[in-house]
């Protein structure tokens, strides 16, 4: 309980710091919102000419991008340290954290709040409320889907950032993987098949970030919830295990 409280205190401080330069903050939020709006405009124009793509309609794409934007936004606001965690490791910021009797990973995640992530949060909420064809009765399922998506997304970011304990070039690689997940999560699942489908459900788990949550929301079931929860636990467990192994190596190296 105390660890959770300390995490919230650090996140609050990071968010307040991101608000320090108000002009820059609103420019970043506005820029991200405009960027998201341009992408959405392309989809709206597409569906103005085509009713569906591979069985996906406008409401399904809105749900997909709404989940993605909300997940990426919440991760950036409340655990923004994931984005440049590899760089923090390479800068030896971990050494200072090891002198304090608290878990290192939560403090690395809470060390930064990304200002433009608020633009993603706004975009995600608007899409989910206005265009995703959801009902109030879907709220509990939506919350579960977003939690699972967020867990897998953050776990993947932590997993690849943790490679910095072994490989100095991991900083750019980890960021590229996260960007690749976001890219793959921006397209309907019907376009993936064969090897690519295997990739989006394993190494670059865009499938568990958006595709499984979308399916779970459209057709709620115990099996669908179990798959999403299992993926969250599995990726989270692997990420924590790899991070702790790297931390032990760092302590002894």
The pLDDT value recorded for residue 227 is 97
Residue whose pair of structure tokens reads 């608007």 in the numeric block? 126
42 vs 226 pLDDT, higher one: 226
The arithmetic mean of pLDDT across residues 219-227, rounded, is 95
Average pLDDT over residues 79-91: 94
Share above pLDDT 70 across residues of the chain, in percent, rounded to a whole number: 98
CA dist., res. 133 & res. 86, Å (int): 39
Distance from the Cα of residue 242 to its chain's centroid: 19
Instruction: Select from 155, 147, 149 the least CA-distant residue to 85.
Output: 155
Cα separation, 97 vs 84, whole angstroms? 16
Domain count across the chain: 1
What confidence score (pLDDT) does residue 1 get?
A: 65
Three-state SS annotation for the chain = CHHHHHHHHHHHHHHHHHCCCHHHHHHHHHHHHHHHHHHHHHHHHHHHHCCCECCECHHHHHHHHHHHHHHHHHHHHHCHHHHHHHHHHHCCHHHHHHCCCCCHHHHHHCCCCCCCHHHHHHHHHHHHHHHCCCCHHHHHHHHHHHHHHHHHHHHHHHHHHHHHHCCCCHHHHHHHHHHHHHHHCCCCHHHCCHHHHHHHCCCCCHHHHHHHHHHHHHCCCHHHHHHHHHHHHHHHHHHHHHHHHHHHHHHHC
In this predicted structure, the answer to whether residue 221 has a pLDDT above a threshold of 90 is yes
Give residue 42's pLDDT: 87
Among 156, 185, 177, 181, smallest CA distance to 79 is for 156
Range with the poorest average pLDDT among 45-59, 77-91, 126-140, 193-207 = 45-59
Using the predicted structure, report yes or no on whether residue 155 has a pLDDT greater than 70: yes
How much is the pLDDT for 6?
Answer: 82
**Which pLDDT score, from 0 to 100, does residue 98 have?**
86
46/73: higher pLDDT: 73
Condensed to tens digits (0 to 9), the pLDDT of residues 176-195 reads 999 999 999 998 888 888 89
Query: What's the domain range around 149?
Result: 2-252
State pTM to two decimals.
0.94
Nearest to 174 by CA among 159, 162, 161: 161
Cα separation, 3 vs 103, whole angstroms? 8
d(CA 103, CA 118): 27
Q: For the segment 19-33, what is each residue's pLDDT rounded down to a tens digit?
A: 888 898 899 999 998
**pLDDT category, 214, cuts 50, 70, 90?**
very high
- Mean pLDDT across the chain, nearest whole number? 92
């Amino acid at each position: 309980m105390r660890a959770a409280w300390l995490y919230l205190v650090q996140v609050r401080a990071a968010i307040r710091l991101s608000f320090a330069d108000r002009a820059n903050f609103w420019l970043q939020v506005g820029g991200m919102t405009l960027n998201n709006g341009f992408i959405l405009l392309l989809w709206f124009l597409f569906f103005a000419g085509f009713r569906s793509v591979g069985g996906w309609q406008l409401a399904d794409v809105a749900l997909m991008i709404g989940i993605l934007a909300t997940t990426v936004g919440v991760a950036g606001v409340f655990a923004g340290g994931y984005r440049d965690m590899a760089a923090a490791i390479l800068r030896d910021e971990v050494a200072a954290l090891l002198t304090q009797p608290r878990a290192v990973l939560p403090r690395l995640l809470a060390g930064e709040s990304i200002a433009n992530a608020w633009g993603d949060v706004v975009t995600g909420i608007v899409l989910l409320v206005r265009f995703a064809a959801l009902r109030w009765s879907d709220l509990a399922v939506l919350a579960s889907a977003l939690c699972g998506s967020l867990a897998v997304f953050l776990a993947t970011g932590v997993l690849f950032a943790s490679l910095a304990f072994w490989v100095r070039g991991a900083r750019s690689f980890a960021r590229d993987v996260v960007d690749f997940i976001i890219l793959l999560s921006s397209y309907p699942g019907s376009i993936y098949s064969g090897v690519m489908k295997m990739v989006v459900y394993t190494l670059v788990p865009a499938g568990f970030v958006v595709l499984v949550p979308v399916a779970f929301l459209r057709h709620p079931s115990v099996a669908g919830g179990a798959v999403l929860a299992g993926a969250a636990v599995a990726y989270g467990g692997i990420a924590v295990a790899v991070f702790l192994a790297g931390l032990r190596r760092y302590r002894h190296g």
